[in-house]
Structure 1
Amino acid sequence: MARLAVLWRRPSLAFGLAVIALVVLAALLAPLLAPYAPDNQMFDGLSLEGSPLPPSAQFPLGTDTLGRDLLSRLLFGARTSLVIGLVANGTAVLIGLVVGILAGYFSGLVGNLLMRFTDLMMAFPALLLAIVLAALLRPSLWIVALVIALVNWVQVARIAYTETRGLVERDFILAERALGAGHGRILLRHIAPHLVPTAIVWGTLGIATTVLLEATLSFLGIGVQPPQPSWGNIIFESQSYFQSAPWLVFFPGALILLTALAFNLVGDALRDLLDPTQRGRG
């Protein structure tokens, strides 16, 4: 409890939690907060020359190249980014834990095959692999989440493997085996619970990476496809207007930066709290 109180007094943790709470609330309440529909192309949303409008009382964050309200699109885009961040990263953590635990527990051929496959996946640059997979598949919200999960599980698998190898030689595991416990009982009752802190920390830290990767794929045009808004494809659609309408790039870019920073700050705090090497100090 003392350590938890110390963490709550951290300004960085408070800032991260506040930003995450605001983003989540904005995503959940987007239909109520958005002044317009995200795909509503308004005739008064463009200047007489056909250019996007800057921020004003009618359009607080301006309009985009098609006369759509940027604030509305950012609010609904938060839903896309968060769904992909949570689903893709949750799937990646689950895959990584399963592969790492099985490879660490079953030594020999099974463990070697799983870890060599993990090494093979780590050899490919994550962004390049994601681009290839996204190009081969039809981009959509769930396909992008699947692609990101398939390239982000390897780090979790490595850590889970290392921790599992240390656990299988512990006395309580050897005692369970001596008592005749099966593999399923040992894995589910004694090994998996010890990896929960690792899953929580990596689950939090990985969301930031996932949000950035989704934004990168959408910026390259192979992520979530318009008219469904995401922060990445909003920048992609507006990149040619960077000088004449900088708000179209600045606002979504700032949201991506703040969200990634917030999840990293919370993840670092959770790592300090759950790190077993820190317990009993202070």
Structure 2
Amino acid sequence: MSRTVAETRASAANPSVIARLLRRPLALAGLIVICVTVLAAVFAPWLVPFDPYEQFFEGLTIEGAPLPPNAQFWFGTDLVGRDLFSRLVYGARTSLVIGVVANGIAVIIGSLIGITAGYFRGWTDTVLMRFTDLMMAFPALLLAIVLAAIFTPSLWIVAMVIAMVNWVQIARVVYTEARSLSERDFVMAERAMGAGAGRILFRHILPHLLSTIIVWATLGIATTVLLEATLSFLGIGVQPPTPSWGNIIFENQTYFTSAPWLVFIPGAAILALALAFNLVGDALRDILDPTQQGRH
């Protein structure tokens, strides 16, 4: 018989899974980076030495150029004399909020569409998956740019735009697995006993898909963080003065040659966080997916 949702959730979070995750050096390194970033974002008001919006006259040279990293401004200052370290820490809040919210919405939409199309088949399958294929035909970045240009950019609008272009991948993956599961004997037996579609979907098919959804949700955060940074860098994401790792690079790109730390430091933060989520997601896939076990 199929496991219940509670049983599957418990198995996904049991100590053996966590212990196996912690035994992987790359996954452990990714977890450390994620935890440090989350803690820095949560406790930003108590960690940063300055207000991220405050402009300092002493934060610029006599010629008006940004200051390099020093004892007062640990990561230097930006082109208007604001402390880069403070803006970077507050920017982590923006990236994480958008990453979690946008990816969460995308996972919910993609999972519902994939499960529904995979189970009901017929015209439902045709309509939903052809719409998914249509969305996949558009380059995600180009579609996000168009949507961001239509709506007034803000934190939540950017999150919604990213969610609207990122659900298609998980929908396709969930659809394939749901379609396979719907033909399994235990599902056929439930149908024969008169079980309704809701019971079969949520008590028998969804529990088998939780590991896949968890893995894709983790990997999707990395994609979302990178997409948010790209939109902000292009000037159609989170708008200044709200700090975002992408718009920090966008604002300071003109000083790339004379003040490279203004681009390299936030760029390194984006790279580190995206890589961390990818490492954890890959490890979870190997641990939770039975077909991957024994290959590493």
Task: Confirm or deny a common fold (TM above 0.5).
Answer: yes
Q: What CA distance in whole angstroms lies between the structure 2 residues aligned with 1:280 and 1:139? A: 46
Cα deviation code 1:102-146 (max 9, x no counterpart): 111111111100000000000000000000000000100000000
Residue 229 of structure 2 corresponds to residue 229 of structure 1: no
Structure 2 counterpart of 1:249, from 263, 273, 277: 263
Cα 1:164–1:244, aligned 2, differ >3 Å: closer, same or farther? same
Task: Give, in whole Å, the separation in 1 of the partners of 2:295 and 2:236.
Answer: 48
CA RMSD in angstroms, aligned pairs only: 1.4
Q: Does 1:183 align with 2:197?
A: yes
Counterpart-to-counterpart distance in 2, 1:216 and 1:230: 11
Does residue 36 of the first structure (1) align with residue 50 of the second (2)?
yes
Contact 2:98 2:158 in 1 (8 A): yes
Q: Percent identity?
A: 72
What is the number of residues matched between the two proteins? 282
Are residues 18 and 175 of structure 1, via their aligned partners in 2, closer, same or farther at CA, if it must alter by over 3 Å? same
Equivalent position to 2:274, from 254, 260, 263: 260
Partner of 1:59: 73
1:278 CA drift (Å): 3.9
1:220 lines up with 2:243 in the alignment:
no
For residues 79-158 of structure 1, the aligned pairs below 5 Å read 79-158=93-172
Per-residue CA shift, 1:120-174, capped at 9, x if unaligned? 0000000000000000001000000000011011010001110011111111111
Give the superposition deviation at 1:2: 6.4
1:49: how far off? Answer: 1.1
Q: Structure 1's 78 and 4: CA in aligned 2 closer, same or farther, altered over 3 A?
A: closer
1:201–1:125 distance in 2 versus 1, CA, 3 Å: same
Residue 216 of structure 2 corresponds to: 202
CA distance in 2, matches of 1:152, 1:276: 26
CA contact (8 A) 2:249 2:266 kept: yes
TM-score, structure 2 as length reference: 0.92
User: Equivalents in 1 of 2:154, 2:19: separation in Å?
Assistant: 42
Alpha-carbon separation, structure 2, partners of 1:92 and 1:3: 25
SS at match of 1:153: helix
Structure 2 Cα separation of the partners of residues 77 and 117 of structure 1: 35
Q: Which runs of 4+ in 1 moved over 6 A?
A: none
